[in-house]
Amino acid sequence: MVDMQTWFGIQQLYADYAIAVDSGKWNRWPEFFTEQCVYKVQPRENFERGFPLATLALTSKDMLKDRVYGITETIYHDPYYQRHVVGAPMVRKVEDGRIHSEANYAVFRTKYDKVSTVFNVGRYIDTIVHTPEGFKFAERICVYDSEMIPNSLIYPI
C-alpha cells in the first residue's frame, strides 16, 4: 500500500511522538500536527456507537498549544512520568494524499513515590499527511478501551 520510505516515515512519526510526550517536551507536542487538526481522546463505547462525546476534543493546533499552556502553567496536579508502548502502525488506506493508519498503545504512569501502573490502553486511529516539514497528524483519535480514566487526564495520550 505504501513504499518503504513512507512506511519508515510513519514509524518515525509514531516513535518521535511517543518520545516527545514521554520526556515532557510539551512544546514539541503540537508540532506533530497540522494547523487544522483534530485530537480526540474518546472511550471505545462512544467511538463504536458513533457518539461524539469525547473526554478531550481539540480541533486546531492552537488548541493543542493552549493545552500545553495549561499543562505547564495553570494545571495543578500530582506530577507523574508516563511511558508509551506503541505497536507497529497498520496502514488501512491511502486516499487523496492522506494516510489512514492505526496502532495499539499502552500508557504506563509512574508517580514519583509509587509503583508504575497501567494508565490508559487503546488504539490510535490516525490520518497522516506529508508536509514540507515531514509527516504530520491531521487527525489523531485515541480510542481507549476502559470507560474510566484514573484520576484525571493531564498529559497527551
Q: What is the CATH number of the domain that holds 27?
A: 3.10.450.50
34 within some domain: yes
* Residue 40, CB-side half-sphere exposure with 13 Å CA sphere: 20
Looking at every residue in the chain, the average pLDDT score rounds to: 94
- The C-alpha angle with vertex 121 and arms to 2 and 56, in degrees rounded to 5, equals 90
**33 pairs with which residues across the strands?**
137
pTM for this predicted structure: 0.94
Cα separation of 80 and 122, whole Å? Answer: 20
**pLDDT tens per residue across span 59-115:** 999 999 999 999 888 877 778 899 999 999 999 999 999 999 999 999 999 988 899
Give the range of the structural domain holding residue 138, as residue numbers without chain letter.
4-144
**Which amino acid, one-letter code, is at 47?**
F
The helix/strand count (H/E) of the chain reads as 3, 7
Closest to 149 in 3D by CA, of 54, 39, 12: 54
Structural domains counted in the chain: 1
Instruction: Work out the pLDDT band at 58, boundaries 50, 70, 90.
Output: very high
Q: Is the dihedral of CA 68, 148, 127, 4 positive or negative?
A: positive
CA distances from 93 to 76, 82, 96, 101, 127 (A): 41, 31, 10, 7, 10
How much of the chain is in helix, strand and coil states, percent to nearest 5? 30, 45, 25
Residue 21's H or E segment, with its range, is: helix 4-22
150, part of any domain: no
Q: If DSSP codes are grouped into helix, strand and coil, which group holds residue 152? A: coil
- In the prediction, which pLDDT does 153 show? 85
69 inside domain = yes
